[in-house]
């Protein structure tokens, strides 16, 4: 029988990383992580030379929706704050970028103002949301998103109402006549740069001591509070960061599509974003990007067959992933980490 002294308490993620495995036992996924990242970025940069115009447009959509889903994963996966209103920040970023475009077509300026506006809205929403949990948190975020959706639909002089707002093509810097981003290929590289910037911010946050503190709060709030952490303050900071990156995704969407409408701030987009996170893999960041790729490709393929009922196919896919791939698409890689050609486990017991 074990004694109280012999029992070990579970290690919190906030206490720091676990000891590294012995030399020669590093999982295959860890050894291939950086080469795969470099190869992925290289393929994304070379995409305009490999894909046609339509496929390149779809890839731009994948990057935008992937960034939105990754920002939601920071809340859902890493912080433990499920949200049904994340499209609100996407829509705020998009509409602010479209309104700023009436004054200046400078793309970086539009992005900066849109990110600031989305972060400010997230601050106001999060100040109330992070003090709740469970179904109350879901309903509060949903209600706020629906409020902004109604505002976008009815404030016709500013938002264009149901007709939406057309947006001119952006320029790269002041004085640019727009020739640098005149082609679809150049505009794609611009969107790719914005995606990489937002993804890098999320990756740095997750890998920082602050990110480990968020993980600890997700698992045991009381313990982190007893260690001196401000749980409400840390959650509010995570909410603002996720909202800012979501606003960046919305601004990139507007600059890529040259149009925004109330559908880009609706509950449907919030629900789809949450589904995309689950399909791709929660608590991975890159998983939601893979889920966005699945979503965009399924939407395009099924819409040509099922017309307006393509969501039925997406729902069926979601059910299959939940039952067959609990870790999402990203979980497939983790399942293969311990595989060895000889059939031996990735790590052997110490002698």
Question: What secondary structure does DSSP assign to 267-284, as a single string?
Answer: HHHHHHHHHHHHHH-TT-
pLDDT computed for residue 302 by the predictor: 76
pLDDT computed for residue 33 by the predictor: 73
120-168 confidence digits (pLDDT tens)? 999 999 999 998 888 899 999 999 999 999 999 999 999 999 999 999 9
Which ranges in the chain belong to alpha helices (H)?
28-50, 53-73, 87-100, 107-129, 135-154, 156-159, 184-207, 209-219, 221-226, 231-257, 267-280, 286-306, 310-324, 328-336
- Write the CA distances from 284 to 242, 259, 291, integer angstroms: 15, 31, 11
Query: Could you tell me which residues are beta bridge partners of residue 328?
Result: none
- Write the CA distances from 25 to 19, 22, 189, 342, integer angstroms: 13, 6, 39, 15
- Write the CA distances from 298 to 73, 236, 265, 293, 310, integer angstroms: 21, 34, 21, 8, 8
The tens place of each residue's pLDDT in the chain, 351 residues long, gives 444 444 444 444 444 444 444 444 455 556 667 888 899 999 999 999 999 988 999 999 999 999 999 999 999 999 999 999 999 999 999 999 999 999 998 999 999 999 999 999 999 999 999 988 888 999 999 999 999 999 999 999 999 999 999 999 898 877 776 677 888 899 999 999 999 999 999 999 999 999 999 999 999 999 999 999 999 999 999 999 999 999 999 999 999 999 999 999 999 999 999 999 999 999 999 999 999 999 998 888 777 666 677 777 778 888 888 888 888 888 776 665 554 444 444 433 333
pLDDT computed for residue 23 by the predictor: 44
pLDDT computed for residue 24 by the predictor: 47
What spatial distance separates the first Cα and last Cα of the chain, rounded to whole Å?
26
- The CA distance from 33 to 48, in Å, is 25
CB 91 within 8 A of CB 270: no
265-291 confidence digits (pLDDT tens)? 999 999 999 999 999 999 999 999 999
Instruction: Enter the pTM of the model.
Output: 0.86
Question: Angle of helix 267-280 relative to helix 328-336, nearest 10 degrees?
Answer: 10
306-334 confidence digits (pLDDT tens)? 667 777 777 888 888 888 888 888 877 66
Question: Nearest CA to 86 among 152, 154, 138?
Answer: 138
């Amino acid at each position: 029988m074990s004694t109280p002294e012999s029992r070990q308490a579970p290690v919190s993620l906030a206490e720091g990383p676990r000891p590294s495995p012995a030399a020669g036992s590093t999982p295959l996924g860890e050894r291939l992580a950086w080469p795969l990242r470099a190869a992925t970025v290289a393929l994304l940069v070379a995409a305009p030379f490999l894909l046609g115009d339509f496929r390149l447009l779809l890839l731009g959509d994948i990057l935008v929706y992937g960034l939105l889903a990754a920002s939601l994963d920071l809340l859902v996966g890493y912080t433990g704050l499920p949200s049904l209103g994340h499209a609100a920040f996407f829509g705020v970023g998009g509409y602010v970028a479209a309104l700023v475009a009436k004054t200046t077509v400078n793309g970086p300026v539009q992005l900066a103002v849109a990110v600031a506006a989305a972060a400010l809205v997230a601050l106001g929403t999060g100040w109330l949301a992070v003090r709740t949990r469970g179904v109350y948190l879901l309903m509060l975020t949903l209600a706020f998103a629906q409020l902004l959706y109604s505002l976008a639909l009815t404030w016709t002089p500013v938002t264009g109402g149901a007709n939406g707002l057309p947006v001119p093509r952006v320029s790269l810097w002041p004085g640019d006549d727009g020739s640098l981003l005149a082609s679809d290929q150049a505009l794609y590289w611009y969107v790719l740069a914005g995606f990489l910037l937002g993804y890098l911010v999320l990756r740095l946050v997750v890998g920082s001591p602050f990110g480990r503190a968020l993980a600890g709060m997700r698992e045991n709030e009381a313990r982190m509070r007893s260690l001196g952490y401000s749980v409400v303050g840390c959650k509010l900071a995570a909410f603002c960061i996720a909202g800012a990156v979501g606003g960046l995704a919305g601004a990139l969407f507007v600059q890529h599509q040259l149009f925004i409408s109330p559908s880009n701030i609706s509950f449907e987009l919030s629900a789809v974003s949450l589904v995309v996170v689950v399909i791709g893999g929660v608590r991975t960041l890159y998983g939601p990007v893979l889920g966005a790729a699945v979503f965009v490709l399924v939407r395009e393929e099924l819409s040509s067959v099922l017309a307006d009922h393509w969501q039925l196919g997406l729902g069926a896919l979601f059910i299959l992933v939940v039952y067959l791939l609990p870790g999402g698409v990203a979980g497939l890689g983790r399942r293969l980490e311990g595989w060895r050609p000889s059939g031996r486990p990735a790590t052997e017991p110490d002698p």
